[in-house]
Structure 1
Amino acid sequence: MRRFVKHIASIAILSLLPFSVPAAGAEPSALHSKMFVLSAPAAELIRDKALHNGTVLQSFAFDNVNQRIYVVQLMAGGQKLPGESGAVSGANRDKNGDLALTELDMQGNETGYMFLKGFGHGVQIGVEAIGGTSYLWTETDAVTEGSSGWGTQIARFAFENGKILTKDSPELEKHRLIEGADRTTVNIDPANDLLTMRYRKNGAFRFGVYNLEDVKQRNYTPIADVPQPTVGTFQGFASYGGYLYLLEGNSYGSGGSVEPVGNTYITAVDLQTGEVLDKQLITAGDTLTFREPEGLAIRLPDVKHPQKAELSFGFASNFTPNRLANIYSIDRLLPAEAIEGMQGSHKKDKED
């Protein structure tokens, strides 16, 4: 964090410099981008909004084209879906990897829902917009480990209000990007058309980044792959261009989280080197009850200007059985020149 502070005074000057522009005919690298200033103040997008079930939100994603928010959560106990012999407990829903998916408008009002049976834990999701249709990217094919079900590959499907999908539904387009991987979760960078998958292999978590269209064509060659750095309780991830953002923390009263400061942090990682560039305590939403960090996503307020992006993070609030959803956003970005300065200084610090 100290290396970040050393450079913060130069940001105002560097932010006036133009982007580096690729030579004529050259294709700009998707991994060359600005980086979010994690210490910037966050704006509140939605507060204390009800979801289709009253469980904690797990993660969320934006359809920036159609102005929708999709939120995934573990299915609440006590529900009986078609084909089930009786109501299923919350513990068994968790064990089976059963999820509820809520569609919200940009004001946080519910406009639809789906149920996803046997998908996973919902640690992170992504959305791809094609015309007026929102395609969800999620984990699927849950395998029980401990008390929860966790995905073993990823899937793409169109949102259809009221639909119940199982891991065997024909509507799913499945992708196994890495053989032998499990704990697969996914996020979409809508500004750069990239798909990032978090996965576990040989006991270690990593992040692979792919061109979205390549994945859809079943070309599973990553453009980046980095290890997960040491973090606290993992709560979500998102990538934007060349940088990966990791969310961690606990609700008040658990894991060392004390009201009102808490222990929510966001870490920035260079996707080309795996180097941690910054880690900042997040104090937004300090008046929320419960306040458990849940999920990261990239929001584009204007899809015609994808370079003006926002890094959004969620919190669950209120109490069982009526947990509520909250989303905040950071919109300040560092120019490439400032980031390069940070990287150079960090390298020198390690050499010293």
Structure 2
Amino acid sequence: MDNISRRGLLTGAGAVLAAGALGVPTASARSLDLPASKRFKMSATTNEFFRSKPLWGPTVMQSFAFDTPNNRLFTGQLRSGTPENSGDLTLSQLNFSGTVLGHMYLNGFGHAVSIGAEASGTTSYIWTETDVDTANGRGRQITRFPWKDGQTLTPASVTKWKPVSGGTVYTPAVDQRFGQLGVRHSLSDGMHINVYSLAAARTGDFSKVLATFKQPALTPGVAFQGWTLYGAYAYFWEGEAYPGEPDETKANSKLWCYDINAGQLVDSFLTLAGKSLTYREAEGMAVYGSTDGTARLYFGFASGVAGDRRANLFYRNTLV
């Protein structure tokens, strides 16, 4: 759950991004255009991927990401037994049936509201926040590192970048289909997203911003739970856990689609996917697919009882 968004980081007027230490140019609240692409239809048929799968820990799934070329799935979680604001995370690797294949520990990284995965040959590289601010449990920079089962990393053991001067609360999203990296970050007036070339970003070059915009206000008072990119569109995911037993009248999990080039929300849908799940808290979203024909927009839920939380994935695959 991204409690940061509840404290007003989604509100405010358009902003001007400051020039960064790495050469990020000054830009308006929305600038430049991305190549035209199709978008996922928010009200399309819901497909279930897997249900009620335990992760390594097990703790609540905060986010997930696919390495599409290598058909790998990774989840980000707060590490069991550590204070929430410590930034200690667990990454799990799952197969597509939801069985855990391995894990990593990331000490002092952040909250894992969003992670990304990128293939380099047969190696999966993971993008996350890092360098936790223990005042809020969020990362102050981003990083990229190779997946290695059983390894423990600290901020001192990875290469770190701060793409936007003055930015905080960083989370990345990888768009493998269109070769883009999205970087969500907080400025004084709220959350913003910059889009970069993935090829440039992996070398630490954030000097060219392909597009930049202020995240639009979503449903007031509902927790922000994840985001991702696909072409010229950004997708947002929000929702609260059921207060008790499954009760679809309490469902408020909503999918949003934002047209980056037009600078406006263009689609949304209140989904009842997984309505029978116990607890049912929206958690994480990501895209799988190397072409439009294989593309799927996934969104996740945590379920189960305290101490035995489970992961659940659903998806849309209709593009318009």
TM-score (norm 2): 0.85
Deviates more, 1:213-222 or 1:128-137: 213-222
Distance 1:288 1:258 in 2: 9
The amino acid that maps onto 1:60 is: F
Distance 1:163 1:218 in 2: 23
Deviates more, 1:260-269 or 1:31-40: 260-269
Q: CA deviation at 1:306?
A: 4.6
Alignment of 1:140-159 (within 5 A): 140-145=130-135, 148-159=136-147
Q: Which of these residues, 57, 60, 65, is aligned with residue 56 of structure 1?
A: 60
Q: Which of these residues, 189, 194, 197, is aligned with residue 183 of structure 2?
A: 197
Q: CA deviation at 1:132?
A: 1.1
Query: Any idea what SS the aligned residue of 2:110 has?
Result: coil
Q: CA deviation at 1:307?
A: 4.8
Distance 1:205 1:197 in 2: 10
Query: Any idea what SS the aligned residue of 1:286 has?
Result: coil
Distance 1:48 1:260 in 2: 21
Q: CA deviation at 1:228?
A: 1.0
2:255 counterpart of 1:266:
yes
Q: CA deviation at 1:30?
A: 5.0
The amino acid that maps onto 2:162 is: R
Distance 1:118 1:306 in 2: 37
**Could you say which structure has the larger radius of gyration?**
1
Q: Which of these residues, 42, 45, 48, is aligned with residue 44 of structure 1?
A: 48
The amino acid that maps onto 1:323 is: R
Percent identity, aligned pairs only? 38
Alignment of 1:83-122 (within 5 A): 90=82, 92=83, 94-122=84-112
Q: CA deviation at 1:287?
A: 1.2
Q: CA deviation at 1:261?
A: 5.6
Distance 1:266 1:207 in 2: 18
Alignment of 1:1-352 (within 5 A): 30-77=34-81, 90=82, 92=83, 94-145=84-135, 148-169=136-157, 172-220=158-206, 221-231=208-218, 232-253=222-243, 259=248, 262-300=251-289, 303=290, 305-334=291-320
Deviations 1:117-162 (A, max 9, x none): 00000000000011111100000000023xx410011000001000
Q: Which runs of 5+ in 1 are unaligned?
A: 1-28, 78-89, 335-352
Distance 2:315 2:249 in 1: 19
Is the 8 Å Cα contact of residues 261 and 286 (structure 1) preserved in structure 2? no
Distance 1:103 1:235 in 2: 20
Is the 8 Å Cα contact of residues 87 and 109 (structure 2) preserved in structure 1? yes
Q: CA deviation at 1:41?
A: 1.4
Is the 8 Å Cα contact of residues 34 and 210 (structure 2) preserved in structure 1? no
Name the count of aligned residue pairs.
Answer: 283
Distance 1:112 1:289 in 2: 26
Query: Any idea what SS the aligned residue of 1:95 has?
Result: helix
Is the 8 Å Cα contact of residues 31 and 271 (structure 1) preserved in structure 2? no
Deviates more, 1:191-200 or 1:245-254: 245-254
Distance 1:124 1:70 in 2: 11
Deviations 1:313-334 (A, max 9, x none): 0000101101000111100011
Q: CA deviation at 1:273?
A: 3.1
Looking at secondary structure, tell me which structure has more helix per residue.
1
The amino acid that maps onto 2:49 is: L
Q: Which runs of 5+ in 2 are unaligned?
A: 1-32
* Aligned-CA RMSD value: 1.6
Distance 2:72 2:286 in 1: 13
1:261–1:283 distance in 2 versus 1, CA, 3 Å: farther
The amino acid that maps onto 1:329 is: Y
Distance 1:267 1:182 in 2: 23
Deviations 1:17-60 (A, max 9, x none): xxxxxxxxxxxx85310011100111111111110012110000
The amino acid that maps onto 1:56 is: V
Deviations 1:51-104 (A, max 9, x none): 001211000001111111100100011xxxxxxxxxxxx4x2x11100000000
Distance 1:311 1:141 in 2: 29
